Structures are given as C-alpha cells and as structure tokens.
A and B are shown apart, each in its own frame.
Chain A
Amino acid sequence: MPYNLKEVIANKPSRFTSGHRMCAGCGAPPVARMILRALKPEDHAVIANATGCMEVSTFMYPYTSWTDSYIHTAFENAASTLSGVEAAYKSMKKQGKLPDDKHTKFIAFGGDGGTYDIGIQALSGAMERGHDMVYVCYDNGAYMNTGIQRSSATPKFADTTTSPAGSVIPGKMQSRKDLTEIMEAHHLPYVAQSIAFANFKDLYEKAEKAIYTEGPCFLNVLAPCPRGWGYPTDMLMQINKLAVDTCYWPLYEIIDGKYVINYKPAKKLPVEEFLRPQKRFKHMFKPGNEWMIEEFQKEVDKRWDDLLKLEEMTNK
C-alpha cells in the first residue's frame, strides 16, 4: 500500500506517548514515534533502549512513554540485551510456549554515543549473529544527556564541551565516523539512513522494511538536538531539510548490498547553509576561518560522490 500520512496517523495510534521529559523541540521523539507506527497494530514489540537522553526521559519511574515492552539497558549493550530477548523468544516459540498466531518484533534504540562509540562491539556482535531485530541509532552528534561531549559521530569543527572551539583547537579535530557504511560491511539484508523529512514517508517506509525484513537490520537516523546544536527550537524540520539538501546527511538504503539513494536534491545547497543556523559551528564563520567551511564542504562532496559511485556500481 502506498504511504498515506493521514491514514497512518489516524489508524495507527502512537506507541510513544506524551508526558515524556525530552526537551521542547527535541528531534528524537518524532523519529521514534514514526518508527513504531510502522509496526502492524496487531504486532507487539520489545524495545531495548541504551542509556542516553531518550532512555532517561521516557522511562522515569513510575512513568513510561512506551506502550510496548521496554527494557532499559546500560549505555553500551542495547544490542546484546535485545539479541538475548530475541533468542529466548525464538526458543520459547519453538517449544510451543508462545502462541503461533501472535508476533513480537525487536527494536533497539541507541544514541550516537551508545552506538558509534561504546555500543559498537555489542551492535556488531548482534548483527553478525543474525538476530531478527532492528537497531535504530538516533544520531544527535554528541553525548547530549551528559552535557554535549563529542562522540565519533560529531562532525569535524563542532564546538562541544570536550572539543571547545577557541585559540587552541578549532572545535572537534577529527571527521565523523561513517557508521552506516560500517554496518553495511556486515552484509546485512537491510541498512538505511533516514531523517524526519517532509511527510515522513522516507522514515516510515524504511522503518517498515527494517522491521519486516527477516534478520538483523540497521537504521541510522539524524535527530537534531536544539540544545546541543544551538539553533532555535522551532527550526527542527528546516534543519532536517538543510541536512538533506546540502547532502550532509544523504537519504539512502542498501538492500542486500544494492545501494539506492532515495533523495537527490535538485539543487545541492552549499553546506554552510546547514552550518550557519547552529551555534556549534559559529566560529567557522569568523574572518580567517573560511578554510574550515571549505574543508567541511570538501568532505561532504567526497562522501556524496562516493555514494553516487556505490549506487552506480551495485546496480550494474
């Protein structure tokens, strides 16, 4: 069935409720809520959530925003926790201890710190073992929950509390790790990169594919943080659009090794349009620092060109 936003919202109740304590305008809740809407209403889910903003603000005793089963895991092991649950479920099904006609899906959520950094070993292991689960990284580009420390997902030059831009260093010194490509190197049946964009078709359809493709699947979703990025809270959807229109965050999916770029901007915007509204990049616009923007642009161009080549190569 083709995607219809109104039908999805009207007929599939939210599985991530109001009353959570994430900041006003946070980019993560709309992402998590839409991903869960991709579940068939009759299916149940078990969610494992790595410590981070989403976990500490949605499951604060005695309240939960989740209507599915939910496990708070430590910072580093959402993937291993969930893989254990999935294995137990399979075994119980085999033993006839669970009804045949009811289905449970397994979804992990982790921040970029919990995924690109400390959780990568658990994630890699779970994916390689082939559990039937989806791991979703909501990437806000730093350890936001503990006060904006840099992670390996933080873009180069970003000003964070552990990469402070000043006269000694120009913000973060290293460029961003490409986790989506690392996950593709596991040769998974489905890997995708998405964002909350326009009518959320891209995100919904990728979530549906990831949840209902058998085997280990991975979604990497950029989820802006107004507090850590330093843009006005009402700009969430404009920032997301700039991220894709500048090709800073390409929307693509890899199905059994074949790359599909889902959105190619008619006019690729200069990356400074994405950088300018954000305080974490403010120093890049000071006279004398033009080289930072040039270098940033070069990196974006290179990664986008590589992606175009991969699409061509894998579809020959």
Chain B
Amino acid sequence: MSTNIDKNTPAKDMTIGGNIYEAGNAVEFKTGDWRSIKPKYISEKCTQCGLCFPVCPDDAIPVGKDGKRTDFNYDYCKGCGVCAKVCPFKAIEMVNEE
C-alpha cells in the first residue's frame, strides 16, 4: 500500500474503503516540524526517575529495554513542554528552536 499520495493520485490507487493495512504506519509521518521551542535533555541531571516517560503525547521520549531513557526523538516532538514541566530534577530545559 502506497503512502505516497497527493491530489493527483487516481482513486484506483487508493485502497477500497480507505482501509489501511500497515499497523502503526503513522511513524512515517514526521511531526517534528510543528515545533517552535524544543526540549533539551541534560543527561547529567537525569536520575532516570521515569516521571517523564508516560507523559509525552507524541511518544518522543525513547525508553530502552533497560528502563532508561535516552535523548529526545525530534522527528516527532512537537515542543509542548509537558515533559520539562514534570521533571523534578530540571534535566529537561525548553530552548528556542534554531
């Protein structure tokens, strides 16, 4: 199934009923360019307390199998600042997007 469609794509190239056959393929759609400010991860201050893990609406905080987070996934982060506000250790700072 092609996700490469635009206003000139003929209807016959669309799936019947608008069905989508690829589970979770929205990951192909990057939302990072919505951002005007961005979170900066200050790993030295992070205690891996976990409080920011579940709050990100855009699932842009990667957490590994070891239960530890790594740097933000800027492909999707929309810059809402929710993560920075919950961090008790000031390990996330909101900065201007260059």
Q: Which of B26, B54, B65 contacts A63 (CB 8 A)?
A: B26
Q: Is the CB of A30 within 8 A of B57?
A: yes
Q: Is the CB of B57 within 8 A of A17?
A: no
B8 CB-CB contact with A under 8 Å: no
> Which residues of A in the span 49-101 have a Cβ within 8 Å of any Cβ on B?
58-59, 61-68
Q: Is the CB of A9 within 8 A of B20?
A: no
Q: Is the CB of A16 within 8 A of B59?
A: yes
Contact indicator per residue, chain A 220-243, by CB within 8 Å of chain B (1) or not (0): 000000100000111111100000
Q: How many A-B residue pairs have CB under 8 A?
A: 135
Chain B residues within 8 Å of A11, by CB: 65
Chain B residues within 8 Å of A207, by CB: none
Q: How far is the CB of A307 from chain B (nearest CB, A)?
A: 26
Q: Is the CB of A64 within 8 A of B80?
A: no
Interface size on B, residues (CB 8 A): 47
Q: Is the CB of A234 within 8 A of B34?
A: no
For residue A235, which residue of chain B has the nearest CB?
B85
Query: What are 22 A-B contacts defined by CB distance under 8 Å?
Result: A6-B50, A6-B67, A7-B67, A10-B65, A18-B73, A19-B26, A24-B58, A24-B79, A30-B57, A33-B59, A59-B20, A62-B15, A62-B25, A65-B24, A66-B24, A68-B23, A200-B54, A233-B80, A234-B80, A236-B55, A237-B82, A238-B85
Q: What's the Cα separation between A233 and B51 when bound, in Å?
A: 17
Q: What's the Cα separation between A302 and B67 when bound, in Å?
A: 43
* Interfacial residues, chain B to chain A (CB-CB below 8 A): 1-3, 5, 14-15, 18, 20, 22-31, 34-35, 50-51, 53-60, 63-67, 73, 75-76, 78-82, 84-86, 94
Q: Is the CB of B54 within 8 A of A18?
A: no
Q: What's the Cα separation between A33 and B57 when bound, in Å?
A: 9
Q: What's the Cα separation between A234 and B25 when bound, in Å?
A: 27
Q: Is the CB of B81 within 8 A of A233?
A: yes
Q: Is the CB of A63 within 8 A of B34?
A: no
* Interfacial residues, chain A to chain B (CB-CB below 8 A): 5-7, 9-11, 14-30, 33-34, 58-59, 61-68, 196, 198-200, 226, 232-238
Q: Is the CB of A61 within 8 A of B57?
A: no
Task: Give the top 7 A-B pairs by smallest Cβ distance, nearest first.
Answer: A234-B81, A25-B80, A19-B26, A24-B78, A6-B67, A18-B76, A24-B80
Chain A residues within 8 Å of B2, by CB: 62
Q: Is the CB of B78 within 8 A of A25?
A: yes
Contact flag A9-B67 (CB < 8 Å), given A19-B31, A236-B82, A237-B82: yes
Q: Is the CB of A21 within 8 A of B85?
A: no
Q: Which of A18, A26, A196, A234 contacts B27 (CB 8 A)?
A: A18
Q: Is the CB of B29 within 8 A of A19?
A: yes
Q: How far is the CB of B8 from chain A (nearest CB, A)?
A: 15
Q: What's the Cα separation between A236 and B56 when bound, in Å?
A: 10
Chain B residues within 8 Å of A67, by CB: 23-24
Tell which of B5, B24, B81 has the most Cβ of chain A within 10 Å. Answer: B24
Chain A residues within 8 Å of B31, by CB: 18-21
Q: What's the Cα separation between A237 and B55 when bound, in Å?
A: 8
